[in-house]
């Protein structure tokens, strides 16, 4: 046990947690915005994959990392708009559409990747993001090198969390999002356009999912593989529930998951313990399912989640 | 001026017209990708068709691939009929595969082994599906999210098994030991892979149709889905119906796994299902949740998958086109379904 504790407080371990948490934080915040507006986006798994692919491809062809990030974000917004078109505009069932969007985007990602890069024995790689130490702050012992000697995208995620909370709780638009997610009819009476607000929230969510995808293929792995997302989108769905649809709690949940995941990787690498690593990977899902059962007494999910809004129907 | 008007009923020819419309739209949309790949559109679709349905061997291959999707399609159709949102057919399939592989590895007479494999697989799938249904009935937990998350739990459990205690000590690969030879499902036509499980799948569809359309349980499932308040008022125990539906749905998805173990792979590996559980949702929606429609819908998807590989070899268009077609077909079908809820009417304005 002491060996485990020793590992935990190593700089490398803390840095690993932050890196694992970053794409999850982006994805979780993205899904949270969408769900707070009343739209479950099960397309997240496929959207992240497609964004990882388009971002990687743009960087690979142009040599510019930030152009890749921009392309990934635009891809995410486009897929968010597609999901919103089906679920918000046409009022189709959100879960089935979400599965459709995931199947469509992951299929498209595989297809386009194979078309552009062909079948290669070694997947092409890019020179991904390099760590960017922040002066002064990175000199703080332990915390400095772990948190302030990271990729630029990590800092963006750290800023995104309070920013998301501010937007959701302190701006008129955030209020509109919460209103259309809780009581769309009241929001409509108050002059808030339910359709437009939901569209915006789902598209913003898509942009954040794009950042998550970009981080995976351009900072973490520096390549696109078919397993680059491997269930992280589903993890984000779980983390939103676990974080009770709140930016701070959701980000905290992402950090907690990253801690467990990093621990699992360490134990695997050091050959410690006889617990199969899959047991750790299962944990967030089991925790979330249990948490949903426990939380169900006090309804915390947005009331209008999964419910399409049509003005003329009562 | 046009406006949308709520429809109260739809003509029966819609059941055939809408999926065909959705499939036609899908093929037109995806032809853009074929053109992008620089291949001939008609040529590519032509190769796809010939390689999947062009001769009797191709047809058997397509049927072998359709079988698991018939089962998962039925599983989803039954569940969605009761508005039990089972997105977990993938996990239920995996559970069925694992359970049947366990049983199939025990030496016993072949016929008995096959029967017990089916029972174990169906039971495992049913047990997995029961979890989200119970959570919904007892704790009002959203079944969409819980059934979806269980897929990951089951997948990691399977991985833990085949990388741990089940790992093939001989090859060192993360695959389970094979089932007994005597438990391999018999091949029905010499020289093909058409196994007993395919026939069982084809028979299951009309049986499930009969169950839904003609039996009391089926009636309860339909009423619970269409109007739970009315069902309750009419003395139907809605919660119990949801649990029964979950058991039935999970058992069907589990049988998809049984067929893959007994008839195709004879062991369990990490990629035993290339997403057949999710494909089941596409199949069920294309079938408009009608069990009889599940068979042609599953055959269509299977033909696309089988055909795409041949198309890729012949024209260089990546075989992943089949994944795009699957996603597009689901979305197109959802849009097409709008015609069942609404009709477009010209109103007002004199011209």
**What residue spans define the domains of chain B?**
2-346
Structural domain of A274: 8-118+126-295
- Asked if B335 has any chain A CB less than 8 Å from its own CB, the reply is yes
For chain B positions 29-48, those within 8 Å of chain A (CB to CB) are 33, 36-37
Per residue in B278-316, is it b (16+ CB within 10 Å) or e — as a string?
bbbbbbbbbbbbbbbbbbbbbbbbbbbbbbbebbbebbe
Share of chain B above pLDDT 90, in %: 84
Distance CA A263, CA A23 (A): 17
A68 located within any domain: yes
- Nearest CB to B327 within list A103, A231, A301: A103
- The candidate with the shortest Cα–Cα distance to A274, out of B168, B176, B160, is B160
**pLDDT at residue A84 greater than cutoff 60:** yes
Distance CA A44, CA A47 (A): 5
Distance CA B93, CA B280 (A): 11
Distance CA B214, CA B185 (A): 31
The pLDDT value recorded for residue A302 is: 86
A28 located within any domain: yes
Residue B178, both tokens = 């094979």
The answer to which of A3-12, B148-157, B270-279, B315-324 has the lowest mean pLDDT is A3-12
A304 located within any domain: no
Q: How many domains does chain A have?
A: 1
**pLDDT at residue B349 greater than cutoff 60:** no
Relative orientation angle of helices A232-242 and A44-62, to the nearest 10 degrees:
130
The class that CATH gives domain B2-346 is: mainly alpha
A210 located within any domain: yes
DSSP string computed for B18-82 = HHHHHHHHHHHHHHHHHHHTT--HHHHHHHHHHHHHSSHHHHHHHHHHHHHHHHHHHHHHHHHHT
Encode pLDDT of B43-83 as tens digits: 999 999 999 999 999 999 999 999 999 999 999 999 999 99
Residue B283, both tokens = 């199949």
- Nearest CB to B321 within list A42, A93, A111: A111
Residue of A nearest to B30 (CA): A108
A21: number of Cβ within 10 Å: 25
Alpha helices by DSSP H, chain B: 14-36, 41-53, 56-81, 89-104, 110-139, 143-163, 196-214, 216-226, 228-233, 238-259, 276-286, 291-315, 321-336, 338-341
A3 located within any domain: no
A200 located within any domain: yes
Distance CA B222, CA B233 (A): 15
Check which CATH number belongs to the domain holding A16 and give it.
Answer: 1.10.3470.10
Encode pLDDT of A226-254 as tens digits: 889 988 999 999 899 889 999 999 999 99
A308 located within any domain: no
Q: Look up the ipTM and state it.
A: 0.92
For the segment B218-225, the average pLDDT, to the nearest whole number, is 94
**pLDDT at residue A3 greater than cutoff 80:** no
Q: Which of B129, B152, B277 to mutate to test the interface with A (most CBs of A within 10 A)?
A: B152
A38 located within any domain: yes
Length of chain B: 351
The pLDDT value recorded for residue B266 is: 96
Contact A103 B148 (CB under 8 A): no
């Amino acid at each position: 046990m002491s060996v485990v504790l020793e590992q935990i407080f190593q700089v490398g371990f803390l840095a690993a947690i932050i890196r694992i948490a970053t794409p999850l934080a982006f994805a979780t915040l993205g899904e949270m915005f969408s769900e707070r507006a009343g739209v479950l986006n099960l397309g997240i798994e496929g959207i992240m994959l497609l964004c990882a692919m388009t971002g990687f491809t743009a960087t690979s062809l142009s040599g510019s990392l930030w152009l890749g990030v921009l392309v990934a974000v635009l891809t995410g917004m486009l897929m968010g708009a597609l999901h919103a078109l089906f679920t918000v505009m046409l009022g189709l069932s959100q879960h089935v559409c979400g599965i459709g969007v995931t199947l469509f985007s992951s299929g498209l990602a595989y297809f386009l990747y194979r078309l552009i890069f062909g079948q290669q024995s070694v997947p092409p790689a890019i020179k991904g993001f390099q760590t960017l130490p922040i002066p002064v702050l990175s000199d703080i012992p332990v915390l400095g090198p772990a948190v302030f000697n990271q990729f630029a995208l990590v800092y963006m995620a750290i800023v995104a969390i309070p920013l998301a909370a501010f937007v959701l709780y302190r701006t008129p638009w955030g209020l509109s999002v919460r209103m259309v997610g809780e009581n769309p009819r009241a929001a409509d009476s108050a002059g808030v356009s339910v359709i437009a607000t939901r569209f915006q929230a789902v598209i913003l969510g898509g942009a954040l999912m794009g950042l998550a995808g970009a981080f995976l293929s351009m900072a973490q792995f520096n390549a696109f593989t078919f397993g680059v997302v491997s269930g992280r989108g589903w993890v984000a769905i779980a983390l939103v529930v676990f974080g009770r649809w709140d930016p701070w709690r959701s980000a905290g949940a992402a950090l907690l998951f990253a801690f467990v995941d990093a621990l699992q990787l360490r134990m695997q690498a050091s050959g410690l313990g006889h617990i199969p690593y899959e047991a750790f990977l299962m944990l967030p899902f089991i925790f979330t399912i249990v948490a949903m059962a426990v939380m169900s007494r006090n309804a915390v999910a947005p009331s209008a989640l999964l419910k399409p809004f049509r003005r003329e129907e009562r | 001026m046009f406006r949308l008007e709520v429809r109260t009923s739809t003509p029966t020819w819609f059941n055939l017209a809408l999926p065909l419309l959705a499939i036609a739209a899908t093929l037109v949309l995806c032809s853009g990708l074929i053109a992008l790949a620089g291949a001939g559109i008609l040529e590519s679709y032509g190769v796809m068709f010939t390689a999947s349905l062009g001769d009797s061997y191709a047809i058997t291959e397509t049927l072998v691939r359709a079988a698991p999707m018939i089962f998962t399609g039925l599983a989803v159709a039954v569940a969605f009929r009761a508005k039990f949102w089972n997105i977990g057919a993938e996990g239920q399939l995996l559970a069925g595969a694992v359970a049947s592989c366990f049983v199939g590895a025990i030496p016993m007479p072949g016929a008995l082994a096959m029967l017990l494999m089916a029972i174990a697989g169906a039971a495992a799938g049913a047990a997995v599906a029961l979890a989200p249904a119970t959570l919904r009935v007892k704790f009002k937990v959203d079944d969409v999210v819980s059934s979806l998350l269980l897929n990951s739990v089951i997948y990691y459990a399977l991985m833990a098994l085949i990388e741990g205690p089940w790992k093939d000590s001989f090859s060192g690969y993360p695959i389970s030991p094979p089932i007994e030879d005597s438990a391999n499902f018999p091949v029905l036509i010499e020289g093909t892979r058409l196994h007993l499980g395919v026939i069982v799948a084809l028979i299951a569809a009309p049986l499930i149709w009969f169950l839904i359309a003609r039996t009391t349980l089926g009636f309860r499932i339909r009423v619970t889905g269409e109007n739970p308040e009315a069902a309750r008022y009419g003395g139907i125990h809605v919660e119990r119906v949801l649990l029964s539906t979950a058991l039935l749905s999970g058992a069907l998805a589990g049988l998809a796994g049984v067929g893959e173990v007994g008839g195709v792979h004879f062991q369990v590996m990490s990629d035993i299902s290339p997403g057949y559980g999710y494909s089941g949702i596409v199949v069920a929606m294309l079938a408009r949740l009608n069990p009889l429609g599940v068979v042609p819908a599953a055959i269509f998807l299977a033909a696309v998958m089988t055909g795409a590989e041949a198309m890729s070899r012949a024209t260089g268009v990546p075989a992943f086109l089949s994944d795009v077609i699957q996603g597009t077909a689901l979305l197109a079908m959802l849009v097409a379904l709008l015609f069942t809820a609404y009709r477009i009417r010209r109103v007002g304005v004199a011209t």
